[in-house]
Amino acid sequence: MYICICNGITEQDIIEASKTSSNSLEIMKVLGVASDCGRCLQVAIDKCLEVTSSIPEAAKTPPRRVKQS
């Protein structure tokens, strides 16, 4: 499912980025979520928090930029 239509960011993109960081704002900045119209902001934050709360802290590494096609 698309979370950010403007930038083509999917739920899976957020899930993958969330595996490397527990900081929602950092994840969204790296991905470019909500950088245009901003309508996706709350949904993106909720998805980041949902995913990061289920990943052990030791399994996280710094986020990497997801290549957009």
| Tens digit of each residue's pLDDT (9 = 90 or more) over 29-61 | 889 998 889 899 899 888 888 887 775 554 555
Q: Which residue has the higher pLDDT, 66 or 13?
A: 13
pLDDT at residue 55, rounded to an integer: 59
pLDDT at residue 39, rounded to an integer: 92
Report pTM.
0.68
- Between CA 24 and CA 51 the distance in angstroms is 10
Fold adopted by 2-59: Arc Repressor Mutant, subunit A (1.10.10)
- Between CA 59 and CA 68 the distance in angstroms is 24
pLDDT of 62 above 80: no
- Between CA 2 and CA 44 the distance in angstroms is 10
- Residues 12-41, mean pLDDT to the nearest whole number: 86
